[in-house]
Amino acid sequence: MKIEAPERIELPVSGMTCAACARTIERTLSATPGVKRARVNLATETATVEYDPARVRAADFAAAIEELGYGVPEGGPSPDRERRALRLRLWVAVAFAAPVVFLGMSHRAPWVQLALTLPVIFYSGAPFYAAAWRALRHCAANMNTLIALGTGAAFLYSLWTTMRGGHEVYYEAAAVIVALILAGRTLEARARRRASEAIRRLANLQPPTARVLRQGVETEIPTEQVETGDVVVLRPGERIPVDGAVTEGQSAVDESLLTGESMPVEKSAGSPVFAGAINLSGSVRYRATKVGRGTLLQQMVEMVKRAQGSRAPVARLADVVSGYFTVGVLLAAIATFVVWLFLAPFPVALVRAVAVLIIACPCALGLATPTAIMVGTGRGAERGILIKGGEALEMAHRIDTVILDKTGTVTLGKPRVTAVRAAPGYTEDDVLWLAASAERYSEHPLGKAIVEAAAERGLALAEADGFAAQSGHGVRARVEGREVVVGRPGITVTVDGRPAGAIEIADTVKPEAAEAVGRLRAMKLDVWMITGDQAAAAKQAAREAGIEHVLAEVTPAGKVAEIKKLQAAGRRVAMVGDGINDAPALAQSDLGIAMGSGTDIAMEAGDITLMRGDLRGVPEAIELSRRTMRIVRQNLFWAFAYNTIGIPIAALGMLSPMLASAAMALSSVTVVTNSLRLK
């Protein structure tokens, strides 16, 4: 019996505000008959569904998403429009909440306060109430439920009081909470936008056009039109459009962004080439073997998408307990109202119940995590550690295993002269001067390393005549009448056919690498090096840096597989890298840390970016996370302590709504002040 492979569809989704939204949509789609698997990616605002077309139609998925209250926009989501709408809601909330706070301090003009609060509640706060309603319809509770409960209780009680001619109103509480939460959502939206850019920029590494031979004539066509078997013509400096195998010519190719190999790779007939790599020197022709989604580059794009889509969002302690807390508060308020209804008039019972809701208003609870994270991320920025958001900062303190890439992370990421050996009759400076003079106009990275080393020693180079690059065999030139050959490999230097010396070139370990690794191990973290570079180079770098666990010659897909193995064993893994080849591993890991000295793609795929490219930023970022999360736990304790103590006092009628509001404000001040200790 033939088993049909499931079809796959990707749908744009609008209206998601938090990880709970993504989980709700994912659960609903997964429960649809005929669906094999559903994944919702909050970062890219997409839902990917694998399904049996004989049992369910693709149109059913859009209907299911829309029934939940979210949108499936035609032509895809419009992040720019949604960001503008979010910013507008924030500025409206700030503009109207400020005068409400001023008037509320003097308990004056309740009707004016009401008028100013209406736009905040019904426009700025509308997404919170919609999300809370969606959660309620599915018998769930989250932070949106708490926000809607707290602001709604404060607003409705204040409205009732205003209509009765009273002055003890709490409009400022409702307005300020909405403004603060919107500020946090704005920061989260910015982080999500940067995360989605990683995939797009990775895909853009593939050049838009390719030069192919059609009926013996060179023709430039769009890359997506290249077919398997086409002969592609590649010139120096061009980026390779599709995967293939060289048929004619020789060249050196920079594959560091794809494979992690730090040195340029010599290519000749039969050698494989990969889309996205850069042809450095010679002109070659090669036959296309993989095109479209089959190329290594596109597979990496898909790996990043899958890893980002499958990564479970970190559940904050507030989210874990918010459902129970919300239900408990509602029950307490209802019980208070019912009991007091038998003991006192209706207005008294209502005031007691509202006091319970106000003392339980989640202002401090809502501030507990964001304020600590805002201060923590600000402190990190001062230290050159850019943290994309609260989830990254929270995850960092749970890490127990750190994986380091080699090239550009543990090492400097480019070839450097490490030693010069001179034959009898020559000095080290003689050998370096001759080689650098011959390589003076070379475009080869190894030649550039020799010229840089000569410049560091202050050597004035001579003009060279008859320069000729020999792919795979170095360069030849005449320097002051002598024929100088700088050979490959081994960088042997000969003068008029006789050995003059040798130059050793390697990708050297960063000066701070050993200190950084030592600090990580002192923090009880397991440190690994996983690299696409050769085993000998990897082991040497690991020895110098003090790393015990080393895996070399690992492909980008292999790095992802190794991380999955560690995660399956219960490890919380941080991946540190700087190359495009690290992007899938950064996305798969629990925490991706990108070196700022590396590629933009790695920086976008990572959760944390070390702007100085200093490896010591890794232990510093993890320690900052540990301190921040200690503050978060303390904040949550105080937030719940106020509520736990205040709710029964309010229920007994010993706490008026006014005092309840003051206690709520005091809990917020405590939380913010505690967070500022991170400074």
Give the CATH number of the domain where residue 475 resides.
3.40.1110.10
In a domain, 39, yes or no: yes
User: Is there a contact between 42 and 196 (Cβ–Cβ < 8 Å)?
Assistant: no
Bridge partners of residue 211, in order along the sequence: 220
Report the distance separating Cα 44 and Cα 28, nearest Å: 19
Do 544 and 594 reside in the same domain of the chain? yes
Three-class secondary structure of residue 518 per DSSP: helix
**Mean pLDDT score, 584-592:** 90
* Helix intervals (H) in 457-599: 513-522, 535-545, 556-568, 583-588
Q: What phi and psi, each to the nearest 5 degrees, are found at residue 402?
A: -120, 125
Report the distance separating Cα 171 and Cα 176, nearest Å: 9
Is 77 a residue whose pLDDT tops 70?
Answer: no
What's the CATH number where 606 sits?
3.40.50.1000
Per-residue confidence (pLDDT) for residue 659, from 0 to 100:
67
Helix axes 617-651, 346-359, angle to 10 degrees: 170
Identify the CA nearest to 479 among candidates 447, 431, 545: 431
Per-residue confidence (pLDDT) for residue 286, from 0 to 100:
96
Identify the band that residue 220 occupies on the pLDDT scale cut at 50, 70 and 90.
very high
Per-residue confidence (pLDDT) for residue 312, from 0 to 100:
32
User: Is there a contact between 588 and 566 (Cβ–Cβ < 8 Å)?
Assistant: no
Last residue of a domain, one of 447, 480, 506: 506
> Among residues of the chain, what percentage have pLDDT more than 90?
27
Per-residue confidence (pLDDT) for residue 603, from 0 to 100:
55
In a domain, 361, yes or no: no
Comparing 23-27, 492-496, 553-557, which segment has the lowest mean pLDDT? 23-27
What ranges make up the beta strands (E) of 30-171? 35-41, 46-51
**Mean pLDDT score, 612-625:** 88
Identify the CA nearest to 179 among candidates 113, 86, 289: 86
**Mean pLDDT score, 111-134:** 91
In a domain, 334, yes or no: no
In a domain, 342, yes or no: no
Per-residue confidence (pLDDT) for residue 44, from 0 to 100:
66
| Higher pLDDT pick, 145 / 161 | 161
User: Is there a contact between 263 and 507 (Cβ–Cβ < 8 Å)?
Assistant: yes
**Mean pLDDT score, 386-403:** 83
Longest Cα–Cα distance in the chain: 112
Last residue of a domain, one of 597, 622, 647: 622
Identify the band that residue 191 occupies on the pLDDT scale cut at 50, 70 and 90.
very low
Is 315 a residue whose pLDDT tops 50?
Answer: no
Do 407 and 515 reside in the same domain of the chain? yes
**Cβ-based neighbours of 410, under 8 Å, separated by 6 or more:** 404, 509, 510, 513, 529, 541, 542, 545, 547, 615
Report the distance separating Cα 522 and Cα 221, nearest Å: 56
Report the distance separating Cα 678 and Cα 625, nearest Å: 11
Per-residue confidence (pLDDT) for residue 472, from 0 to 100:
61
Is 1 a residue whose pLDDT tops 80?
Answer: no
Per-residue confidence (pLDDT) for residue 227, from 0 to 100:
93
Catalytic residue among 230, 319, 405, 430: 405
- DSSP code at position 678: G
Give a three-class secondary structure readout of 218-248.
EEEEEHHHCCCCCEEEECCCCECCCEEEEEE
Do 112 and 62 reside in the same domain of the chain? no
Identify the CA nearest to 364 among candidates 301, 422, 308, 318: 318
User: Is there a contact between 584 and 307 (Cβ–Cβ < 8 Å)?
Assistant: yes
Is 188 a residue whose pLDDT tops 60?
Answer: no
In a domain, 343, yes or no: no
Per-residue confidence (pLDDT) for residue 67, from 0 to 100:
82
Last residue of a domain, one of 77, 106, 128: 77
- Find the angle CA(366)-CA(367)-CA(373) to the nearest 5 degrees: 120
User: Is there a contact between 419 and 503 (Cβ–Cβ < 8 Å)?
Assistant: yes
Q: What phi and psi, each to the nearest 5 degrees, are found at residue 526?
A: -85, 125
Do 487 and 468 reside in the same domain of the chain? yes
Residue type, 144: N
In a domain, 223, yes or no: yes
**Mean pLDDT score, 555-562:** 90
Burial (0-12, 13-18, 19+ Cβ within 10 Å), 180: buried
Per-residue confidence (pLDDT) for residue 367, from 0 to 100:
64
Identify the CA nearest to 590 among candidates 436, 446, 430, 401: 401
Number of H helices, E strands in the chain: 22, 25
Identify the CA nearest to 279 among candidates 17, 120, 471, 556: 471
**Mean pLDDT score, 82-91:** 88
Is 545 a residue whose pLDDT tops 90?
Answer: yes
Identify the band that residue 79 occupies on the pLDDT scale cut at 50, 70 and 90.
low
Is 143 a residue whose pLDDT tops 80?
Answer: no
User: Is there a contact between 234 and 283 (Cβ–Cβ < 8 Å)?
Assistant: yes
- How many other C-beta atoms are found inside a 10 Å radius of the C-beta of residue 134? 20
Tell me the pLDDT of the chain averaged across its residues: 81
In a domain, 151, yes or no: yes
Per-residue confidence (pLDDT) for residue 285, from 0 to 100:
94
In a domain, 675, yes or no: no
Half-sphere exposure of 182 (CA within 13 A, CB side): 29
Identify the band that residue 661 occupies on the pLDDT scale cut at 50, 70 and 90.
low
Do 53 and 64 reside in the same domain of the chain? yes
Identify the CA nearest to 22 among candidates 4, 40, 49: 40
| 428-433, Cβ contacts within 8 angstroms, sequence gap of 24 or more | 428/501, 429/457, 429/459, 430/500, 430/501, 431/493, 431/500, 431/501, 431/502, 431/503, 432/457, 432/459, 432/503, 433/459, 433/461, 433/462
Per-residue confidence (pLDDT) for residue 194, from 0 to 100:
55
Is 245 a residue whose pLDDT tops 70?
Answer: yes
Sheet bearing 217-222, strands edge to edge = 217-222, 209-214, 231-234, 284-290, 243-248, 272-273
Per-residue confidence (pLDDT) for residue 83, from 0 to 100:
80
Do 40 and 150 reside in the same domain of the chain? no
Q: What phi and psi, each to the nearest 5 degrees, are found at residue 629?
A: -70, -30
Which residue range(s) make up the domain with 182? 80-204
User: Is there a contact between 90 and 186 (Cβ–Cβ < 8 Å)?
Assistant: yes
Q: What are the C-alpha distances in Å from 200 to residues 221, 360, 577, 644?
A: 22, 44, 19, 48
Do 185 and 125 reside in the same domain of the chain? yes
Per-residue confidence (pLDDT) for residue 313, from 0 to 100:
39
User: Is there a contact between 487 and 435 (Cβ–Cβ < 8 Å)?
Assistant: no
**Mean pLDDT score, 189-194:** 58
Q: What phi and psi, each to the nearest 5 degrees, are found at residue 445?
A: -55, -35
Do 88 and 59 reside in the same domain of the chain? no
What's the CATH number where 13 sits?
3.30.70.100
Is 439 a residue whose pLDDT tops 90?
Answer: no
Do 165 and 273 reside in the same domain of the chain? no
Helix axes 296-310, 171-203, angle to 10 degrees: 160
**Cβ-based neighbours of 619, under 8 Å, separated by 6 or more:** 516, 519, 520, 523
> How is residue 251 written in tokens?
């060249």
User: For the chain, how far is it from start to end, CA to CA, in angstroms?
Assistant: 66
**Mean pLDDT score, 282-311:** 75
Per-residue confidence (pLDDT) for residue 147, from 0 to 100:
73
| Higher pLDDT pick, 398 / 610 | 398
Report the distance separating Cα 441 and Cα 475, nearest Å: 10
Per-residue confidence (pLDDT) for residue 167, from 0 to 100:
81
Identify the CA nearest to 79 among candidates 173, 196, 201: 196
Number of domains in the chain: 5
Is 2 a residue whose pLDDT tops 50?
Answer: no
Is 195 a residue whose pLDDT tops 50?
Answer: no
Is 339 a residue whose pLDDT tops 90?
Answer: yes
Identify the CA nearest to 465 among candidates 482, 477, 447: 477
- Total residues belonging to the chain: 679
Active-site residue flag, 405: yes
Burial 375-403 (b: 16+ CB within 10 A, else e): bbbebbeeebbbbbbbbbbbbbbebebbb
- How many other C-beta atoms are found inside a 10 Å radius of the C-beta of residue 474? 25
Per-residue confidence (pLDDT) for residue 448, from 0 to 100:
86
Do 63 and 113 reside in the same domain of the chain? no
> Which H helix or E strand runs over 550?
strand 549-551
Do 192 and 278 reside in the same domain of the chain? no
Per-residue confidence (pLDDT) for residue 600, from 0 to 100:
53
**Cβ-based neighbours of 227, under 8 Å, separated by 6 or more:** 288, 291
Identify the band that residue 3 occupies on the pLDDT scale cut at 50, 70 and 90.
very low
Do 567 and 579 reside in the same domain of the chain? yes
